């Protein structure tokens, strides 16, 4: 009888320890690398929102929905990030994902040129990406 009780108690302690450990591990993982997801609508050659902000270390996911009859190019070469083919197709959607491993303040709208600072031949849109 006594042995059974001790075994039961010991099993209970181990189970609680495993649960607490799992909670600590999960929470710690979230704190170290949070995921920020943004939904950006492209319409009339403008993006909404036109600025997103993330923290260094965040995994950033941007879901684009292009409501325009033309494709729009987006890229963040600093994070080696873009969408399939480099453009969000006309009337289509695309996803861009990257780890924001350093601070930055740039424009991810790159229609018309591979250089994100070149806005001379794009549609005039802007998607400011700030990592702070
Ligand atoms: Cu464009």
Band of the pLDDT at 5, cuts 50, 70, 90? low
- CA–centroid distance, 99 to ligand 1, in Å, is 24
Band of the pLDDT at 10, cuts 50, 70, 90? low
- CA–centroid distance, 95 to ligand 1, in Å, is 16
Model pLDDT for residues 37-63, shown as the tens digit of each residue: 999 999 999 999 999 999 999 999 999
The pLDDT of residue 29 = 40
Q: Mean pLDDT check: name the lowest of 72-81, 84-93, 104-113.
A: 104-113
- CA–centroid distance, 101 to ligand 1, in Å, is 26
- CA–centroid distance, 73 to ligand 1, in Å, is 6
Position with higher pLDDT, 23 vs 129: 129
Q: Does domain 35-131 have CATH number 3.40.225.10?
A: no
- Return the percentage of the chain with pLDDT > 70, whole number: 67
Domain ranges of the chain: 1-32, 35-131
Signed CA dihedral, 30, 104, 73, 41: sign only: positive
Q: How far, in Å, CA of 46 to CA of 66, rounded?
A: 10
Band of the pLDDT at 110, cuts 50, 70, 90? confident
Mean pLDDT of the chain: 81
- CA–centroid distance, 31 to ligand 1, in Å, is 35
- CA–centroid distance, 105 to ligand 1, in Å, is 20
Task: Residue 30: name the closest of 58, 9, 49 by CA.
Answer: 58
- CA–centroid distance, 56 to ligand 1, in Å, is 27
Q: What is the pTM of this model?
A: 0.70
Is the Cβ–Cβ distance between 100 and 24 less than 8 Å? no
The 3-state DSSP class for residue 67 equals: coil
- CA–centroid distance, 130 to ligand 1, in Å, is 20
| pLDDT of residue 3 exceeding 70 | no
Largest CA distance in the chain: 83
């Amino acid at each position: 009888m006594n042995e059974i009780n001790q075994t039961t108690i010991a099993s209970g302690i181990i189970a609680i320890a495993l649960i607490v450990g799992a909670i600590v591990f999960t929470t710690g993982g979230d704190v170290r690398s949070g995921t920020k997801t943004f939904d950006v609508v492209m319409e009339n050659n403008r993006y909404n929102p036109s600025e997103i902000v993330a923290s260094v270390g965040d995994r950033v996911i941007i879901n684009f929905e292009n409501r325009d009859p033309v494709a729009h190019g987006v890229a963040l070469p600093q994070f080696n990030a873009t969408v399939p083919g480099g453009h969000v197709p006309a009337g289509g959607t695309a996803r861009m994902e990257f780890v924001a491993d350093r601070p930055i303040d740039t424009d991810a709208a790159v229609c018309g040129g591979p250089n994100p600072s070149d806005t001379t031949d794009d549609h005039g849109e802007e998607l400011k990406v700030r990592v702070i």
